[in-house]
Amino acid sequence: MSKDIFSEVPELHYVEKAPTCDMGEFKKVIESRRSVRVFTDEVIPDSVVEECLNMALLAPNSSNLQPWEFYWVKSPEKLKTLQAYCLNQPAARTSQTLIVCVARPDRWKLGQKVNLAYFDTRPDTPRSVRAYYEKLVPFVYGNGPLHIFAPFKTFAVAILGFFRVIPRGPFGASGNLLWATKTTSLACENLMLALRAAGYDSCPMEGFDEVRVKKLLGLPRGAAVTMVVSAGKRASNGVYAERIRGAKDLFIKKV
């Protein structure tokens, strides 16, 4: 494996041209997306929800390992229970569509297999790309039983960091969880923008009992609920106030 795998451009034969997009329509979607707290009784068609979830899966993600899962709660009994676990807040209680967005750092091996299986169908895949998934991915995301190798990797990287530029993680349970959560959050934004483009609204909720939600869905210990997204048709009182943002120079720094 090339030691310059991060800086080298692999020799690829694939070309994908970017289509022309409408900035005005995209801006309309961005500006009209609000955290809606109250929904009408109108049910979103299943086909629309499925398409929006498909858009979520197209979100960028680290090394294309796709460490996420999305639980679309269809059972009326589970929906009612989940609403209660979301503290019965109006955004949950009035919504007929709840999607639990889950970070799965423990599933990096599945993502690795998906990519390697694809490479098997493409004999022109550069050796450096395959080597990245076969050698570097297990080193970065694998920590051994009970994450026993994480402290050693952290120490080794800290020493190497004195001599050259080097990635500083993710290592260990907390590092992998942060990595998976960041990736899952990108997909959540795709999901909510897709719902808005389809004429519906959403609310990303962090107010929920994660222990009970995980038990309801049968999630393993390594999983974490990033957020619960409620969706539906916006009620007239669904947005509580105008959008409030600080001056952009408080947040955008040109250096």
Residue 180: inside a domain: yes
Question: Range of 183's domain?
Answer: 34-238
Residue 135: inside a domain: yes
Residue 22: inside a domain: no
Q: Where does the pLDDT of residue 12 fall: very low under 50, low under 70, confident under 90, or very high at 90 and above? A: confident
Q: Is the CB of residue 77 less than 8 Å from the CB of residue 41?
A: no
Our count of domains for the chain comes to 1
Closest-CA residue to 211 (of 98, 85, 68): 85
Question: Which residues on neighbouring strands pair with residue 224, listed in sequence order?
Answer: 103
* Pairing mode, strands 97-103 and 201-205: unpaired
Give the span between the Cα atoms of 220 and 131, in whole angstroms: 30
Q: What is the CATH number of the domain that holds 234?
A: 3.40.109.10
Give the span between the Cα atoms of 116 and 129, in whole angstroms: 10
Give the span between the Cα atoms of 211 and 228, in whole angstroms: 13
pLDDT of residue 138: 92
Residue 152: inside a domain: yes
Residue 245: inside a domain: no
Mean pLDDT of 4-25: 85
Most confident option among 13-27, 115-129, 206-220: 206-220
pLDDT in tens, 217-234: 999 999 999 999 999 999
**pLDDT > 80? residue 167:** yes
**pLDDT > 70? residue 159:** yes
C-alpha torsion angle, residues 89, 41, 184, 190 (rounded to 10): -130
pLDDT of residue 5: 67
pLDDT in tens, 185-208: 999 999 999 999 999 999 999 999
At residue 142, what are phi and psi to the nearest 5 degrees? -90, 130
CA atoms within 13 A on the CB side of 82: 29
Residue 63: inside a domain: yes
Higher pLDDT, 88 or 221: 88
Query: pTM of the prediction?
Result: 0.92
Percent of the chain clearing pLDDT 70 (strictly above): 98
